């Protein structure tokens, strides 16, 4: 009898220990501290997940976007000590899938979700017919403009084409309203590639044709020519060559620019009196097109959430991803990043107070243009960054820069 009692107690204790071990699961999650959702947003989302899942704790790590890619790669060799959830850019699934860094979650995605989420969002996590996560940040760059500066310049409507952007910028500069009407994030970084992609799309250009570089002529060359002209004519702030997105927001928020290209998150912040001197004087629109070529232009700057292949907690990681990406969570935090869900755009929680942004998104999402979706994207981007930036510094002509970049890219393709 005593033996049976002892065995029962031992079994009960073992069950409790197993239960405790399960309850002590800690997820390591990697995010960026740059654009889209703020750190406070993500911490709030995480707190609500932990409250609903008392057996799981999430340790959050925030890094600049520029460190995100290499952090994911470095952690892939860390075994169980790596990350369980990572934020990744739309340009990385090809590389990460081919190198085995991300888990194929195709079987985890409910079939009815496909039609409920924008097609452009799904491309963020897809490669070779498989899905490697859930889309989370549906984003592109918009053209922001200072309505007061435009009015003082006698400009009644915002520009409809990229040529009109330069024309209006010249009027504003000639009237002495601001020294440099345009501000961009053209540092030697991915931020510059996003603006170059937007302008390339507007001019009808492409990056590759049948697997070979095609950006040395046509619309891509026209895009670089446009960038150089805006600098040469004194319309673009020359410090743009050192700027990232937050620098653009700072300059525009101070009233020192009439036009700025930036992501969704800027809309809320430039209209916040605690963050901006131009609150209430800001318009936002889809990036314009080129007469006879396009009506609008947009880069696909979306991002997804995935599970690294070495995560020992795939089930809990997927539960966390589902919480972050579900419709109600996204609608609650829609002021810094618009939802991936089609139905959200009829909800007042999303549209109220940001009607112009939602209207711009409706136009931009339909024309989002991808950066090259190739496994060697990191190398391709690095080459383009170097040669584009050098040309913007007037070290080379557009022709020389793009031809040299094309030769380098052809060697790694």
Spell out a b/e string for 189-212, using b for 16 or more CB atoms within 10 Å of the CB, else e: bbbbbbbbbbbbbbbbbebeeeee
pLDDT reading at 79 higher than 90:
no
**Residues 199-240: pLDDT tens digits?**
999 999 999 998 899 999 999 999 999 999 999 999 999 999
Residues 142-299+376-410, CATH architecture: 3-Layer(aba) Sandwich (3.40)
Is there a common fold for 26-139+301-367 and 142-299+376-410?
Answer: yes
pLDDT attached to residue 23:
52
pLDDT reading at 34 higher than 90:
no
**Residues 116-138: pLDDT tens digits?**
999 989 999 999 999 999 999 99
pLDDT reading at 7 higher than 50:
no
| Terminal Cα-to-Cα distance of the chain (whole angstroms) | 74
pLDDT attached to residue 9:
40
Question: What is the token pair recorded at 48?
Answer: 């609500």
**Residues 279-291: pLDDT tens digits?**
999 999 999 999 9
Pairwise CA distance, residues 96 & 287, whole Å:
30
- HSE at residue 267, side-chain half, CA atoms within 13 A, is 28
pLDDT-based confidence at 147, cuts 50/70/90?
A: very high
* Contact (Cβ atoms closer than 8 angstroms) between residue 124 and residue 110: no
Pairwise CA distance, residues 159 & 285, whole Å:
9
pLDDT attached to residue 413:
65
- For the chain, which residues make up each domain, given as ranges? 26-139+301-367, 142-299+376-410
With tokens 């009829």, the residue in question is 346
Pairwise CA distance, residues 361 & 364, whole Å:
5
Indicate the average pLDDT of the chain.
92
Question: What is the token pair recorded at 277?
Answer: 């001197």
Pairwise CA distance, residues 198 & 298, whole Å:
5
Pairwise CA distance, residues 355 & 111, whole Å:
31
307-336 mean pLDDT: 96
Identify the CA nearest to 249 among candidates 120, 102, 141: 141
pLDDT reading at 21 higher than 70:
no
Residues 26-139+301-367, CATH architecture: 3-Layer(aba) Sandwich (3.40)
DSSP string, 134-170: EEEE----EEEEEHHHHHHTT--S--SBHHHHHHHHH
pLDDT attached to residue 120:
87
301-324 mean pLDDT: 97
With tokens 């080129």, the residue in question is 290
**Residues 161-197: pLDDT tens digits?**
999 999 999 999 999 999 999 999 999 999 999 999 9
pLDDT reading at 13 higher than 50:
no
**Residues 333-368: pLDDT tens digits?**
998 889 999 999 999 989 999 999 999 999 999 999
């Amino acid at each position: 009898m005593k033996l049976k009692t002892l065995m029962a107690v031992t079994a009960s204790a073992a069950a409790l220990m197993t239960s405790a071990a399960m309850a002590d699961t800690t997820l390591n999650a990697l995010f960026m501290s740059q654009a889209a959702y703020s750190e406070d947003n993500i911490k709030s989302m995480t707190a609500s997940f932990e409250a609903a899942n008392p057996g799981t704790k999430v340790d959050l790590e925030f890094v600049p976007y520029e460190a995100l890619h290499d952090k994911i790669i470095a952690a892939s060799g860390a075994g169980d000590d790596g990350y369980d959830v990572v934020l990744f850019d739309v340009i990385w699934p090809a590389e990460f899938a081919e190198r085995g860094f991300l888990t194929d979650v195709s079987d985890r995605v409910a079939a009815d979700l496909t039609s409920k989420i924008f097609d452009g969002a799904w491309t963020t996590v897809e490669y070779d017919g498989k899905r490697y996560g859930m889309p989370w940040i549906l984003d592109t760059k918009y053209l922001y403009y200072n309505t007061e500066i435009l009015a003082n310049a006698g400009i009644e409507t915002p520009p409809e084409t990229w040529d009109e952007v330069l024309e209006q910028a010249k009027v504003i500069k000639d009237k002495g309203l601001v020294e440099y009407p345009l501000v961009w994030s053209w540092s030697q970084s991915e931020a510059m590639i996003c603006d170059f992609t937007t302008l390339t799309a507007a001019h009808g250009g492409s990056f590759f044709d049948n697997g070979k570089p095609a950006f040395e002529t046509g619309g891509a060359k026209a895009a670089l020519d446009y960038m150089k002209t805006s600098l040469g004519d004194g319309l673009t702030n020359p410090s743009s060559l050192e700027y990232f997105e937050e620098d653009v927001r700072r300059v525009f928020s101070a009233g020192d620019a009439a036009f700025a290209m930036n992501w969704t998150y800027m809309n809320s912040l430039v209209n916040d009196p605690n963050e901006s001197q131009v609150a209430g004087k800001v318009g936002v629109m889809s990036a314009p097109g080129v007469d006879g070529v396009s009506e609008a232009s947009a880069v696909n700057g979306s991002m997804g959430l995935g599970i690294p292949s070495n995560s020992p907690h795939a089930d809990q990681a997927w539960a966390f991803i589902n919480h972050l990406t579900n419709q109600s969570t996204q609608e609650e935090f829609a002021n810094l990043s618009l939802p991936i869900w089609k139905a959200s755009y009829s909800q007042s929680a999303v549209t109220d107070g940001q009607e112009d942004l939602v209207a711009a998104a409706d136009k931009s999402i339909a024309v989002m243009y991808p950066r090259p979706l190739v496994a060697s994207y990191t190398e391709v981007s690095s080459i383009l960054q170097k040669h584009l930036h050098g040309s913007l510094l007037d070290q080379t002509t557009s022709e020389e820069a793009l031809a040299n970049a094309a030769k380098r890219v052809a060697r790694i393709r």
